[in-house]
Structure 1
Amino acid sequence: MQYHSVPPYTRSSRIYDTLMADVDYPGWCEYILDLADVFAFATRSVYDLSCGTGTFLHLFPAAEKAGIDLSGPMIEIARKRYPGLDVSIGNMLNPPPKKMDLYLNIHDALNYISSIREVKAHISRMDKILQPGQVYLFDFALAGVIEAYFTDTAYEDTTPDGISFKRSNTYDKENKKALTDLYIYFPDGSACHERHVQYIYDYDEIVKLSVEFPSRNFIFLEEFSFDEAHKASNRMLVIMR
């Protein structure tokens, strides 16, 4: 079968929610609300910089919500599924500033940034955007979780509307790249391929960046806990304020 290669998150927007079916979105909401209590930041208004199809943003209990995503097809699904949700096409690396309490960028979105220099540029941009009282919450998948769950693994599934797909994961440890290949088969007989490349940064690389922004306070946590992150953490969540 011939596969038409397309950029990430174009045709896979149709299977995204099946791919993410194991994500505990309500648990994520509860965790962030608990973080807000422990570390004393507001969540009355939330700005999701990688909102995808909008599920998390829809569920999060904020009075005011907005989201952006680079993928037009993902935003189209979010608008159809959650009418009235304020979502638009936008680049998480250079988001339009908003008067929101909490900026969010979770679910490993920043692992798509291809160099630590670009990560630094993004944090520098957020340093300029964040006003007093605003908080930026973001995360990274670290090598531990990739080696444990996304190295030489594969599975197949079918969406409720009959789109089948195969997903395979490999980890180029030498170059610190997590590679995901999606082969998607549509009911009309067409098929496509998407390759997703995520860049796996070391704990030390990320923490070192914070030193360059002395006016900011950074908190590094082992994700889904309140414990301090460390070199062996699987995922790291960062609170920037």
Structure 2
Amino acid sequence: MPLPGLRRRALIDLEALADNLRELGSDVIDLRADAYGHGVALVAPLAARMGVSRARVSDERDAAVARAGGMADVAVGRTGDGDTAARAVYGISGGRPVLTLLGELVAVKHVPAGSGVSYGYTHRTERPTVLGLVGLGYADGVPRLASNRAAVAIDGVRRPLIGRIAMDQFVVDLGDDAPAPGGEVVLLGDPARGEPSAGEWAAWTERPALALTAGLGARIERVVR
């Protein structure tokens, strides 16, 4: 069952986006796949204000949004290879990360050694520990292949993701700490702050980083940071 009322947010740092665009110095921006999950409606107006006049989009719906945002020349479809430039624009490869993906710590539970975690019990605790339940899952675009591979950051500390990722939630090992439920969990963020990067998630999930951000689900609210 989906967990109602949870905070599922993608923070979009427009200042970082502006810095990346300035550094790239191009008059064209890749806005395909809804700006790779960053939101055409958020990205296009800023790019237009910075003098970017041309855009690539995936479909006519996004083309209309891009034009409304100030793009003068919009091409629809997979025209050209913009992936390298797109990684730079969105701070995935060089530059400053634009998107921070946040979930909510829903529950905290002390468990003994040998406890099975999530369905199928693909992970069992090696010692008594504290588990945290996070309200994001594969329905939100968190790939199941990250099960028992990935890490998140909670209060500035990295925590391993353990057990299988479920539709609406996953579990992390909190060790000896027991933070209060309701706190933020950083899935994708700025490695300069010790947060997992899109590049790390790409390695854990064996898929391109841009595909990860593009695949974030509709329940995740995009918020300008």
Asked if TM exceeds 0.5, the reply is no
TM-score, scaled relative to structure 2: 0.34
Which structure has more relative contact order (CA 8 Å, sep 6+)? It is 2
